[in-house]
Amino acid sequence: MLSDWEYNKTDYPESYTSHRIFDELDYYEEFYDAIAMGCHCFIPNGVETMLNYASYIFTSIDCTLGSIKMLLKAGKVNDAYVLIRKMYDDILVEIYIDIIRKDKFDYEEKCIVEDANKWIKGKHRIPSLKVILKTIKESPSTKDIYPFFGWDTYLKKDRELLDDSVHSNRYCRMLLNCYQIYMEKGAREKYLDYASTVLKHIFTLHLSFIFYLKAQYLMASTYTDYLDEGATPPNGSENWIANYAQEAYDRFIKSDAKLAAFIKNNCRLQIM
């Protein structure tokens, strides 16, 4: 944790300290905490594990969001951008591993998907971004949802924006870490606006792919709660959606009519 002294090296204006991004980060953290708990009981096929590795990916993303918030509160905007890029990569990796498990799994001949299994065991490096994006675009599992996102437009620009911080491409971006540097009114807040937009794009992408590929992660706990008690679950409860998942759908998917219709038509959950 950062000390009070480190938080207060400079007094940022209320327009910075009360920026909407801090509430948004709280929301994203709560979502990933909830889905990490919700998916834990689903054992993934294709890998040698008794626990759901995705639960720990979601928890890791949750922790990264906490680090981003901590850095922004301390005024380390450039460092926060680096972690947002890391989160972007983590989400693409989670989607990629899910895809190859689906595409390469075979109950009779190929029960273990080697690339996914070795990655989980730390014996295999994830492929390049180019390979991951090609897989998402061409896989039978995701080729239909791929066109709903601006991979070559806004998502590409988002990544270029984040890369400027990762690779120190712009001196002005490095200065965002320097609390001693005077910046004109609204300059730092502008970069919080950018970060807010990028995080929304990334989260909407991830949420949509979870609904499409792993809807069971977002189901209400009613069905499993009954099973845990040795009781018969209510009829159809395996298709009930968790409240937090419905809220996320309403906030991030519903406004895009075409994407919303696609998700509803290709998801077994009873989305309102």
Span 238-263, mean pLDDT?
97
Q: Taking 90 as the threshold, does the pLDDT of residue 91 lie above it?
A: yes
Q: Taking 70 as the threshold, does the pLDDT of residue 45 lie above it?
A: yes
Helix (H, G, I), strand (E, B) or coil at 219: strand
Q: Taking 70 as the threshold, does the pLDDT of residue 108 lie above it?
A: no
Q: What percent of the chain has pLDDT over 90?
A: 75
| Phi–psi pair at 167, nearest 5 degrees | -105, 10
What's the confidence (pLDDT) of residue 5?
41
What's the confidence (pLDDT) of residue 134?
98
What's the confidence (pLDDT) of residue 4?
44
Span 212-220, mean pLDDT?
96
C-alpha 272/C-alpha 270 separation (Å) is 6
168 alpha-carbon distance from chain centroid: 24
Range with lowest mean pLDDT among 72-81, 138-147, 258-267: 72-81
Q: Taking 60 as the threshold, does the pLDDT of residue 125 lie above it?
A: yes
> C-alpha angle with apex 167: 166 to 173, nearest 5 degrees?
75
Kindly compute the dihedral angle of the four CA atoms of residues 158, 263, 216, 204, in this order, to the nearest 10 degrees: 20
End-to-end alpha carbon distance in the chain: 40
User: Does the predicted TM-score (pTM) go above 0.85?
Assistant: yes
Closest by CA to 211, choosing from 35, 90, 20, is: 35
* pLDDT tens by residue, 151-180: 999 999 999 999 998 888 777 777 777 766
Q: Taking 50 as the threshold, does the pLDDT of residue 236 lie above it?
A: yes
Mean residue pLDDT of the chain comes to: 91
Q: What percent of the chain has pLDDT over 70?
A: 92
What's the confidence (pLDDT) of residue 176?
75
Range with lowest mean pLDDT among 167-171, 197-201, 231-235: 167-171
Q: Taking 50 as the threshold, does the pLDDT of residue 139 lie above it?
A: yes
| Phi–psi pair at 106, nearest 5 degrees | -145, 120
